Structure 1
């Protein structure tokens, strides 16, 4: 006879394994702040590349004006302005990354807890069946 409770629990386990749960599995393998700071460190590099891309695009769009005024440009103030904009951009970008990945970590841990409760229920059912067979 089919044990409907075991089938139900095994269905939940299989459903979790079949869906795209890479974030949940990754979140389960780290402590909270380790996961968040790992993603923040990755965001530091991607944010730096994105800022460099913005600078290159700005130079490409304003190339004509920059070439006309090349002798009159104050490179020191432009460098300070670029540095201030970079720091502001990175603070906002990394702060947003921390918020997003903290929420993903929290949701991932919640899903992993549900998955573990289903696994424990299946394990209890199997041990109960083993005891009955003896």
Structure 2
């Protein structure tokens, strides 16, 4: 005889394992601070590479203008301008990264708690069944 409640919990757990299990695995391995810090470190590297690509693309696009004004251009002012833009870009990028991954961690932990709740209920159902079987076996003796 199939226990429908137990089957319901098992289906929920299987859906979680196949859909969200891989995404939520880091939430069980890391504390919030560690998880967000690790993601921010990766975002710092990718943001720096992205800014460099944007800068190179702009440099290629503006090559004619840069070559014409090379002698009249203040290189120190140009570098300062690029550095300020880089800092503003990275602050915005890192702030977005912090909020996104902090929220993902919160949602992931919530989903993991639901999973463990289903696991606990499933375990209780098995224990209840075992107790019933044991009491039935004692009645036969």
The TM-score, its normalising length taken from structure 1, stands at 0.94
**Corresponding residue number in structure 2 for 1:45:** 45
More divergent stretch after superposition (73-82 vs 46-55): 73-82
SS in 2 for 1:123: helix
Structure 1 position 57, deviation (Å): 0.8
The count of aligned residue pairs is 134
Structure 1 position 124, deviation (Å): 1.2
Q: Deviations over 1:22-76 (max 9, x none)?
A: 2222222211111111111110000000100110011011001111111222111
**Corresponding residue number in structure 2 for 1:88:** 88
Confirm or deny: 8 A CA contact 1:24 1:108 kept in the other structure: yes
More divergent stretch after superposition (27-36 vs 45-54): 27-36
Kindly name which structure, 1 or 2, has the bigger radius of gyration based on alpha carbons: 2
How large is the RMSD of aligned CA atoms in angstroms? 1.1
5+ residue gaps, structure 1, are none
Rounded to whole Å, the distance in 1 between the matches of 2:33 and 2:20 is 23
SS in 2 for 1:72: coil
Confirm or deny: 8 A CA contact 1:23 1:104 kept in the other structure: no
**Corresponding residue number in structure 2 for 1:123:** 123
**Corresponding residue number in structure 1 for 2:3:** 3
5+ residue gaps, structure 2, are 135-141
Rounded to whole Å, the distance in 1 between the matches of 2:41 and 2:13 is 33
**Corresponding residue number in structure 1 for 2:139:** none
Structure 1 position 19, deviation (Å): 1.0
